[in-house]
Chains A and B, each alone.
Chain A
Amino acid sequence: MTDVQEHELHAYVDGTLPEARRLEVEAWLAANPADAERVQAWAAQNQSLHAAFDSVLNEPLPLNLVRATRRPALPVPFKAMAATLAMLVTGLVGYAIGLGNGEQAPAAPVYLARDAAIAHVVFSPETRHPVEVDAAHADHLVAWLSKRVGTQLQAPDFSAQGFDLLGGRLLTGETGPVAQFMYQDKIERRVTLYVRRAVAGNTETSFRHATENGVDVFYWIDGDFGYALSGQIGRQAIRQLADAAYQQLVTASANP
């Protein structure tokens, strides 16, 4: 084994070493406690940075910033998108003070798909902290999100389809808190399940598909709640996962 260089210690901490070299660096660290101590301290710094600043990702977006992403004469689809994200992150207040002027009411189920797709795009690229609570604490995660969203949630099991639960996070949506569960397969493709209270009076229950900015979304309403499964793994694959989720969740709600 060649001596380990300083830059390789950093690459080890940042998880960018090829697997073979990573193992060699690990062996080196076992034999060089001073380096091991530095590496451990650097990795702890990364953790502290995430602990200190990841909460910013979940903050409601200030309206002036949402507006600043738009040019004065934006084409309508973009404008609707901006308004929808504003609602996703600022809730009804943001909507009420003018972003959605003259647009379709947000109650339409299609907004469920659009919001879910945006939340998918925002959070699924995070490689190290894609979730607030990881799957190792799955019981706690489900209990916590259930409490905040206001119903007994269930994280569907996609292991038969090759996807494992990575964790989840709490978001803010136009109808209140939103739970997002994230799953990942062996080659690190991710799908997210978005669950929120459905708008009152919405009786749409059929299973629907939408494509939002390249993200496939299957969504449905079950009782008081809307569910949307999003991913970029091909329509057919998402459909299979959505079928599985639907079966598990509907079965669970029919047999409480």
Chain B
Amino acid sequence: MRTRPDLIEHLPRLRRYARALTGDVNRADDLVQDTLERALAKLDLWQPGSDLRAWLFTLMHNLFVNQIRVRRPQETVMEDALDVPVSGGQMEALAARDIHAALAQLPEEQREVLLLVGLEQFGYAEAAQVLGVPTGTVMSRLSRARERMRQMLAGEPAVKLKLVI
């Protein structure tokens, strides 16, 4: 019998990405659940030895794109984005709040790239594979996303993070 891959160890990171992507706890977990169901249904198509995590994120991307295609007409911005609880001190909470609001205002295709690269640590080529676009497209979306975020977050000097590279 073919060895079954362990989907469960990918759950925490799928949930983190979905939470950042949708800005909503329930919508995020619904997306994760749909992803797992699709993954189990299509598990025979997954190539053993290839990157299971990237495959799962690809499934999630496809579901997310279908969802926003359906939701787009009646939905504008994610109003729940500010209600997501954050951990840590007050400064951190403020920064997180800003990042939630800024993320919500990014176009979905830019938000996905920013999160895959900046949060989930996919390489550019891997992110391109997950999203089904050329690497050049990933780079231009990343560039636009980061610049747009910079402009949105620039108005808040009080929470600007000090960084030593």
Contact = CB atoms under 8 A, between A and B. Distances in A.
Interface of A: 6-7, 10-11, 14, 16, 38-59, 61-62, 64-66, 68-69, 71, 74-75, 78, 81-82, 85, 118, 121-122, 126-128, 213
Contacts of B123: 16
A57 B18 CA distance: 12
A48 B99 contact: yes
B150 interface: yes
A78 B40 CA distance: 14
A66 B8 contact: yes
A62 B32 CA distance: 11
Contacts of A69: 6-8, 11, 36, 40
Interface of B: 1, 4, 6-9, 11-13, 15-16, 19-20, 29, 32-33, 36-37, 40, 84, 86-88, 92, 95-96, 98-100, 114-115, 117-119, 121, 123-124, 139, 142-143, 146-147, 149-150, 153-154, 160-161, 163, 165
A45 B96 contact: no
A58 B153 CA distance: 27
Contact of A81 (B6, B13, B119, B139): B6
B27 to A, nearest CB: 13
Given A10-B142, A16-B123, A49 B7 contact: no
Contact of A65 (B4, B11, B121, B165): B11
A52 B150 contact: no
Contacts of A52: 20, 84, 86, 95-96, 99-100
A64 B100 contact: no
A58 B13 CA distance: 10
Given A10-B143, A75-B1, A45 B15 contact: no
A90 to B, nearest CB: 12
11 contacts: A6-B143, A10-B142, A40-B163, A46-B119, A48-B96, A52-B86, A52-B95, A56-B15, A69-B7, A118-B9, A127-B121
Contacts of B92: 51
